[in-house]
Structure 1
């Protein structure tokens, strides 16, 4: 084959350090737009970004030219620097060290898009820790809970 053909949808989830509430509704749209631009810069186009005060979800089409780990590292580094310029409230902003990333099949893209779009409503009924554990279990990922919440 003379060309590389790739279409990988990835659902990325990560939280603020110590799950501190930083991503309020005042800043979230601008933050999500900034992150979408970062994804585009790395040819990993964001289909949907959403979250709550303490975490975000990104559904993107991962480029064949960048490793997932590198994309997440770049998103976190650049967005963390950016958010710290948005006022005194955000000066101590940091993302957590780790992240979750999950493959999404073509038939599930719309369902995950809607799920991410409705995060604020979803989290009126369920906290982030419960949500994240459910995602890990759905994807049959082995984990040690003491290492997830550092």
Structure 2
């Protein structure tokens, strides 16, 4: 085989520091666009992004040269810096330490896109803790 093919898709989940509900509708779309720019600058592909005031979900395709840890560090660090410099919020913004990262098959990508896009509906029934426990259990 003379060429390399990869299709490395990941579902990233992380929360705001102290799970503070500070990602408002006023700047969420700008934040998501900025994160998309970070991913693009790292030669990744943003497939879907969404979340709630206290956490975010990112569906991303990475090249084999990327590590999940490095791209997550770039996303969290870059977006925190941007939010604090643009003064979108009245307080210091930070993401909580740690994250969830789950591998995703191509066949499950449409389902996960729908799931991320419908976070508001999902969280009418489930808390963030319940959601994370479900994701951890499902991805054992």
What SS class does the counterpart of residue 47 from structure 2 fall into?
A: strand
What SS class does the counterpart of residue 137 from structure 1 fall into?
A: helix
Shift of 1:90: 4.4
What SS class does the counterpart of residue 26 from structure 2 fall into?
A: coil
Q: How does 1:1-150 map to 2 (within 5 A)?
A: 1-87=1-87, 89-140=89-140
Shift of 1:14: 0.4
Deviations 1:47-79 (A, max 9, x none): 000000000000010122211100000000000
Q: Which ranges of structure 2 fall in alignment gaps of 5 or more residues?
A: none
Conserved 8 A contact 1:59-1:113: yes
Moved over 2 A (4+): 1-4, 85-91
**Judging changes above 3 Å, is the alpha-carbon distance between structure 1 residues 124 and 77 closer, same or farther for their aligned structure 2 residues?**
same
Shift of 1:133: 0.6
Q: Which ranges of structure 1 fall in alignment gaps of 5 or more residues?
A: 141-150
**Judging changes above 3 Å, is the alpha-carbon distance between structure 1 residues 88 and 46 closer, same or farther for their aligned structure 2 residues?**
closer
Conserved 8 A contact 1:22-1:90: no
What SS class does the counterpart of residue 95 from structure 2 fall into?
A: coil
What SS class does the counterpart of residue 85 from structure 2 fall into?
A: coil
Shift of 1:89: 3.0
Conserved 8 A contact 1:50-1:57: yes
What SS class does the counterpart of residue 65 from structure 2 fall into?
A: coil
What SS class does the counterpart of residue 85 from structure 1 fall into?
A: helix
How much is the aligned-residue C-alpha RMSD, in angstroms?
1.3
